[in-house]
Structure 1
Amino acid sequence: MKVCHPYLIAGLVLLFIQLNLNALSQQVEKGKASYYSDQFNGRKTASGEVFDNNKMTAAHRTHPFGTQLKVTNLKNNRSVVVTVNDRGPWKHDRVVDVTKAAAKELGFVAEGIAEVSVEVYQPSVPPAEPAENKVASSLFEVNLIPVSGSGFGVQVGAFQQIDNLFTELLRIEKKYGHKPMVHVAKVNGERYYRIIIGPYESREKAERKLEKYKKDGLDGFIIDLKELE
């Protein structure tokens, strides 16, 4: 009997794991979501982090810790981005457990359970501009003004390259007449510069603006700016 080399076996196992992770990252799950009760505050999650019901985190059975998931309430179309730091849910008809803070944003605290879709969050990058629309200069004037984390914003893009970020900021400012905000974040270990338009004093106003931006080809979602502090 021919015995496979251990390195070959290890390589095949790693390939199998990678293929499974790739498939998982493209999957959209649908099912029920529930949220944690306050009695879990201060306890350690499966990842070792201390649980905080005021943060945007979640429990999922298979996604690696640190994965960011976009959870959408199918009843009202509200979405949030949460980070996986725990395992569960353990009821067979549930696909994700979120914190109470996330449940509030999704609008199902009173009901306790909601029908949702769950997918790996991929920062949206607008399509490349035609050459004639690109900014010719590589020299920019930057005015940095700290913004208080209150109200709501609409995230319309995320970039890793500074020059692409500046080009999109100028395009948005020219089109809508006001300067968007930038938030620096790490997504699955990668640094991204998020473009956020706002702030708006209520979620309802932000949702109305989001509908307008979508008609203009800018996809995005609502962010509670308090969560970015």
Structure 2
Amino acid sequence: MINNRKCYLFTVIILLFIGIHQPIFAQTQDIQTGEASWYGSKYHGRKTSSGERYNKNDMTAAHKTLPFGTKVKVTNLKNDEFVILRINDRGPFVGDRIIDVSEVAAKKLAFRGQGIVTVKVEVLELPGDYNPQNAGMYTIQTGAYRSSKNAMALSQKLKAFDKNLNVELMEDESKGKKVLRIRAGRFTSRQEAEAFNELLEEEGLSGLVKEA
């Protein structure tokens, strides 16, 4: 029964890779012009797509494609007011809107009372670990360790599960201490990554599917 399930999931992954899902060629746009909206108290404290908690008083924003951590300049084209925001969420998914800003940002841009305004979004700085080859890709974060020995042990288990699996150890910092985060695989869709993660779950090796 378990082997049949594994065969089915592998088939799904292969089909997604070669036929059902078309490759995504994401391109970072330096400047965009379009409608902006904002979100406030209703979402305050909720988790964003990046895993952070939304804070209506922080200078952050949601964008459909820009990497998390990207800094952008958003200018209200009606009054030329502008703010510098950090992308930490996905959206907006209403009409042709291009960005969803925090409540405090909407106040500074002087459109909180209007709800929607035409803006220009300019990319100022991409995150330090941004790799354009990963645009539109997904990976599985399978663990975070302070011990390099434990991190290497999990990496070896993942490679033993699939010798062709791309496994990366990313050095990060948490509360002033070094942390090794393990990322497994590069997938062209969330559905493909979730399917592979189910296979890992059966071996006790699953993680969290994230944008690469």
Give the structure-2-normalised TM-score. 0.47
Give the structure-1-normalised TM-score. 0.44
Q: Which has the higher contact order (CA 8 A, sep 6+)?
A: 2
